[in-house]
Structure 1
Amino acid sequence: MKSIKKTTVVCTASLLTLSLLSACAGKTDSGTGAAADPASAKPTEINIMTTFFSPEPPDANNSILKEIEKKTNTSLKVSWLSPNNYEEKMNVTLSSGDLPDLMLVLDPFVPVIRKSAQQGAFWDVTDVYKKYPKLADFPKDSWEFTKMEDGKNYGVPRVRPTEGGGFPYVRKDWLDKLGLTVPQTTDELYKVWKAFAQQDPDGNGKADTQAYAAYVAQDSMGSLGWIESAFNQTNGSWKLVNGKLVNINTLPETKEALVFLNKAYQEKLIPEDFAILKATQAKDMMKAGKAGMGSDTPEAAWEPTQELRKTNPQADLQPMVSVNGFTSKDTGFYGMYVINKKVPEAKLKKIMELLDYGASDEAWDLVSYGMKDTHYTEKDGNKVFTELGQKELVTQGAFKQILYKNDKYQRAFRNGMPNDYLERNKKVIDERSKISVPSLAVGLYSETSLTVGPELNKKIQDIKTKVIYGKEPLTAWDDFVKKLQTDADFQKMSKELNDSYQKRVGGAK
């Protein structure tokens, strides 16, 4: 999901993305990079560690997984880990030194990953990926922004579109019932929130609806990050002011955002336990019809819509285009896959073939629709899912964490979505692309941020959460900002970031 801002500068915000899955040994086919192995060749076993965002992960007998293995002559042993504790499990795995062949890294610029790369834990694929047509066709920025400070790529980006990232979606049917329109500004947004919380939008005669299913992380504003962005008109934690990158936490607009959120909390428009609420729990609130707004990609908004329509056919969660005329542009990646340096070169090639196949149209259609006459039939040009298709394709949110193709509208479509919903999503993405703002700090490097950034992020978020709760007065935020601006590490980090930025734009060093 997800629009999460970090003061850490190494690669502000978005994480990379990669497409993966499948590959055979031998020569590769010019269309997909998949290999054409003799039928008698023994399947290559590949151990994968990744996460999933589906109701449940695929089991080892999932027929789509089996088909991928068959097409690529592989035996895939996948450890599917919950997104709620994936980073923790990844750190434990890295510490053990017993790495899988292929492992998802959510943020390639955290110290533990940089250190592992420097110590030779991962294969350097800087020149390798250029031999695989689909991987080489990823956006240039996907590869450039995932390089370490030595200029090398130690992983394959999980490619994602630059448009259609995490942003709020709203219960359009509730708006219609209350005579309201999709909010365009933060003032209009507040009025909508108040109506959702106080005017019984679900019509059950009870005051049991929440305005927004909000949550934060220990080191970021989580699903409240876009509100800060709307006030600051900035994507990420750094804004260009008079030619210099300035941290948004020192700007008056950030304080305005905290005032807005504190008021919302006091009037019970956001969950009382938003500070400990998890993303999955926030999504459950939307599925249960307990909240009027959530935050996610356009296609992900279909999941709670589909659930709600089982009992309320009129339920409609509409992705929003912008707030205060602002919407963010993503970097084109969301984490990356690292390859264990202990695997031999021959197996490295197999893994790269697998990832290259994963970025192909063939692989994408397989995980989107399954196999013809097994998971779907065609009628009048439309795909009609069979019972098995409906059962096994709920795991899309798992397969598509490792298997993804580069497409502008990838975040518009999800299996089972009606055509009118899909077309509306495409229009939302088109409208966002006209005004979306990129994060200027993506790909920049600051050594200081590696050491002080993580703890600083936690301190910043801690005081923000306390101000929103009302446990600390707004003056406490003012005092914190004054100390922040004079902090030696913060000043050094800011200088390093600006130096890096000037190098990138060709300015003075």
Structure 2
Amino acid sequence: MSGGKTKRFRSMPLTFTLLMGTVIAACSNSGGADDSKKNTETVAPGATPTADASAKANQPRTKLKMFMGDSGIPHPDGTDPSDNPFIRIVEDYANVDLDMDVPSYQDFQTKFNLLLSSGQLPDIVHTWFIEETDQRAREGAFIDLKKYYDNSPQVQKYVTPEMMELAKDKVSGNYWRIPMASQNTPQGAGIVARYDLVMKYNNNKWPETIEEWVNMMRTMKKAEPDSIILSNRVSGDYTLSYGGTPIFNMFGAAPYTYRVDGGKAVSTFTLPEYRAAVELYKQLYDEGIVDKEFAVNDNAKYYEKVKNKNVLWEYNSADQYVPSGVAKKPEDQTKEWLWAPPLKTYPSVVKDAKYTRPYRWMPIAGHGVYISAKSKDPERAWKVIEGFASDELHEAIFWGKEGETYNVKDGKRVPIAEKLSDKSRSWSLHLAFVYGFADGMEVTKAQAEMVRDPKELERMSGAMKMLNDQALETGIGLDNFIVLSDEAAKKRPDEVKFISKATVEAIMGKITMQEFDQRVQEFQKKFGFIYDEYTKYLTEHKNELLKAGVKEAGW
């Protein structure tokens, strides 16, 4: 999903372009749809309703408000977030009328911050900015959900007690959120590149050094002067992400994260490897290989360039490139995205190749759903959360209805790929923030086998195993357990902005590398204490971290 290896980026959205026909959990991107109450398109599940819906039929409905993100898969034009067949499943389960506020992914952080600062919270809030939300919860903005969870077999079906413990606020000990389950998520992350372009411009083999990658880019630029080989997608304050980070990843110094070395944690921004990556990025920017708009591309611009300008690569998580039943468009038949193998030889500045490898994911992802302390009916708000964990919604999102989106043959469900991936229903994946976006792997695999080239599927399967093995070798990241002071937590947004500004200015030549070095020294004075807290926590909890699978606690 992102360029970083921290939990902050595990919460980033589902949005890899469905242009290439890859996405998690049998979903394609948005498009138009008819969404009125008279909508005749069937997306309702085949399961029998679970909640006491029949008993509620004649009871008045409670009106509740909910704020949530679309995780990068927006509603298609004409679909009302508050009134569509999927959200009606939740409404019927909880006997409510939901007023949904679902800003675009690009606007989510800004609107979420405004919502928190206003104090005018809706009944239910879904977000992937967990640190900020937990901090506000400690100030009284949200309620503890443990008593509701303990009495909810439906939520426990997908979110285990172990997951709830991992989601517990480590400062207060409260259970503010229901986390997203991610135990079925493919492990690892890495650089995913246009395999067809690599084979074409690098003599039918993967580059084995950074120099070989750069020479290939130059060859490609000479042959395709109009192509935008290296681009980037801005994600809120994180200016560098996705297409903007692979060079940093190759140097083992991804932006906005940390490194553990000799029992001490430091910001990657301060490393010599980070500086070397900036220098190379600037060189490629000057040569015209890097997108001149890399620091301002929004989602739409970035994906337009991916589609039409032969963008070469991006850094993302394995779950974002699971082959699905979305058939390739005619113009995309020769395009193939595949995970790049690690370099055979790293630059001399790289201290250890282990820093270039991905982490193992936690069994929960960085999403959460909260109930506001201002809700006048928290019990009914909890029923809404249960609705989002209902079997009916799960069936509707991932399988749909027999005879319409799948058939049964010899006792097995056979997906109707074009129906399951239709733009009128595929957006619903962003509602799976309790089950996890990868919970529909069974149907995804079945769809892919129906429409994809077997050799291409075999290559992708081998590459995903490679990422899985790397992640298991690295272990879970320290920052999934770290407990920062309020002062440090409040400084994180400023830290991100500082790193973005200094890095972009150096790449674009607005500051010299000597001035960049001065920015690093300034960073240490302003934000170094954050990583001192990392080190202190690591030192005090080393043994328990090692037992939990945090291998870097021993680095």
TM-score normalised by structure 1 residue count: 0.80
Verify the 8 A CA contact 1:50 1:104 in the aligned structure 2.
Answer: yes
Q: Kindly provide the amino acid, as one letter, of the partner of residue 478 in structure 2.
A: L
- List per-residue Cα deviations over 1:377-430 (Å, max 9, x = no partner): 456853224669624223144334565367595997697783546665454333
Verify the 8 A CA contact 1:167 1:320 in the aligned structure 2.
Answer: yes
Verify the 8 A CA contact 1:196 1:292 in the aligned structure 2.
Answer: no
In structure 2, the partner of 1:3 is 3
SS in 1 for 2:193: strand
Q: Kindly provide the amino acid, as one letter, of the partner of residue 192 in structure 2.
A: Y
- List per-residue Cα deviations over 1:347-375 (Å, max 9, x = no partner): 14413422432xx5x64342123222233
Does residue 14 of the first structure (1) align with residue 30 of the second (2)? no
Q: Kindly provide the amino acid, as one letter, of the partner of residue 384 in structure 2.
A: I
Cα gap change, 1:67/1:152 in structure 2, threshold over 3 Å: closer, same or farther? closer
> Structure 2 unaligned runs (5+)?
14-46, 344-352, 546-555
> Structure 1 unaligned runs (5+)?
18-30, 201-206
In structure 2, the partner of 1:370 is 400
Q: Kindly provide the amino acid, as one letter, of the partner of residue 190 in structure 1.
A: V
In 1, the alpha carbon distance for the partners of 2:414 and 2:444 equals 18
In structure 2, the partner of 1:222 is 241
Deviation at 1:35, TM superposition (A): 2.5
SS in 2 for 1:335: strand
Q: Kindly provide the amino acid, as one letter, of the partner of residue 102 in structure 1.
A: I
Cα gap change, 1:36/1:231 in structure 2, threshold over 3 Å: closer, same or farther? same
In structure 1, the partner of 2:120 is 98
Verify the 8 A CA contact 1:5 1:222 in the aligned structure 2.
Answer: no
In structure 1, the partner of 2:492 is 453
Q: Kindly provide the amino acid, as one letter, of the partner of residue 241 in structure 1.
A: D
Verify the 8 A CA contact 1:214 1:274 in the aligned structure 2.
Answer: yes
In structure 1, the partner of 2:19 is none
In structure 2, the partner of 1:189 is 213
Residues 335-344 or 415-424, more deviating? 415-424
Using the aligned pairs only, state the percent identity.
Answer: 18
Does residue 494 of the first structure (1) align with residue 531 of the second (2)? yes
Deviation at 1:124, TM superposition (A): 0.6
Q: Kindly provide the amino acid, as one letter, of the partner of residue 468 in structure 2.
A: S
Verify the 8 A CA contact 1:34 1:354 in the aligned structure 2.
Answer: no
In structure 1, the partner of 2:277 is 257
Q: Kindly provide the amino acid, as one letter, of the partner of residue 393 in structure 1.
A: R
Q: Kindly provide the amino acid, as one letter, of the partner of residue 375 in structure 1.
A: T
In structure 1, the partner of 2:226 is 208
In 2, the alpha carbon distance for the partners of 1:169 and 1:384 equals 28
Verify the 8 A CA contact 2:90 2:388 in the aligned structure 1.
Answer: no
- List per-residue Cα deviations over 1:421-446 (Å, max 9, x = no partner): 66654543332121124432233122
1:440 corresponds to which of 450, 458, 478? 478
Matches within 5 A, 1:69-218: 69-70=91-92, 74-110=96-132, 113-133=133-153, 135-136=155-156, 138=159, 140=162, 143-145=165-167, 147-160=169-182, 163-164=186-187, 167-178=190-201, 179-183=203-207, 185-200=209-224, 207-216=225-234, 218=237
In structure 1, the partner of 2:349 is none
Does residue 469 of the first structure (1) align with residue 508 of the second (2)? yes
Q: Kindly provide the amino acid, as one letter, of the partner of residue 97 in structure 1.
A: G
SS in 2 for 1:334: strand
In 2, the alpha carbon distance for the partners of 1:99 and 1:498 equals 36
In structure 1, the partner of 2:289 is 269
Verify the 8 A CA contact 2:282 2:507 in the aligned structure 1.
Answer: yes
SS in 2 for 1:392: coil
Q: Kindly provide the amino acid, as one letter, of the partner of residue 221 in structure 1.
A: L
SS in 2 for 1:81: coil
TM-score normalised by structure 2 residue count: 0.74
Deviation at 1:465, TM superposition (A): 0.9
- List per-residue Cα deviations over 1:450-477 (Å, max 9, x = no partner): 2333223322221111111122222222
Q: Kindly provide the amino acid, as one letter, of the partner of residue 466 in structure 1.
A: E
Cα gap change, 1:388/1:243 in structure 2, threshold over 3 Å: closer, same or farther? closer
Aligned length: 479
In 2, the alpha carbon distance for the partners of 1:465 and 1:369 equals 44
In 1, the alpha carbon distance for the partners of 2:240 and 2:168 equals 24
In 2, the alpha carbon distance for the partners of 1:277 and 1:122 equals 34
- List per-residue Cα deviations over 1:59-86 (Å, max 9, x = no partner): 3554344455556655443322101111
In 2, the alpha carbon distance for the partners of 1:428 and 1:282 equals 25
Does residue 431 of the first structure (1) align with residue 466 of the second (2)? yes
Verify the 8 A CA contact 1:3 1:165 in the aligned structure 2.
Answer: no
Verify the 8 A CA contact 1:143 1:157 in the aligned structure 2.
Answer: no
Residues 218-227 or 446-455, more deviating? 218-227
Q: Kindly provide the amino acid, as one letter, of the partner of residue 392 in structure 1.
A: S
Cα gap change, 1:50/1:415 in structure 2, threshold over 3 Å: closer, same or farther? farther
Matches within 5 A, 1:392-411: 392-401=424-433, 404=436, 407=439
In 2, the alpha carbon distance for the partners of 1:275 and 1:305 equals 33
Deviation at 1:275, TM superposition (A): 0.7
In 1, the alpha carbon distance for the partners of 2:529 and 2:306 equals 43
In 2, the alpha carbon distance for the partners of 1:464 and 1:48 equals 37
Matches within 5 A, 1:254-333: 254-298=274-318, 300-301=320-321, 309-320=329-340, 322=342, 326-331=357-362, 332-333=364-365
In structure 2, the partner of 1:383 is 415
Deviation at 1:246, TM superposition (A): 2.0
In structure 2, the partner of 1:20 is none
Cα gap change, 1:263/1:365 in structure 2, threshold over 3 Å: closer, same or farther? farther
Residues 275-284 or 418-427, more deviating? 418-427
SS in 2 for 1:84: helix
1:47 corresponds to which of 60, 65, 78? 65
Verify the 8 A CA contact 2:144 2:176 in the aligned structure 1.
Answer: yes
Cα gap change, 1:298/1:251 in structure 2, threshold over 3 Å: closer, same or farther? closer
Q: Kindly provide the amino acid, as one letter, of the partner of residue 282 in structure 1.
A: Y
SS in 2 for 1:240: strand
CA root-mean-square deviation: 3.9
In structure 2, the partner of 1:35 is 51
Cα gap change, 1:276/1:235 in structure 2, threshold over 3 Å: closer, same or farther? closer
Q: Kindly provide the amino acid, as one letter, of the partner of residue 198 in structure 2.
A: L
In structure 2, the partner of 1:351 is 384
In structure 1, the partner of 2:43 is none
Cα gap change, 1:142/1:471 in structure 2, threshold over 3 Å: closer, same or farther? farther
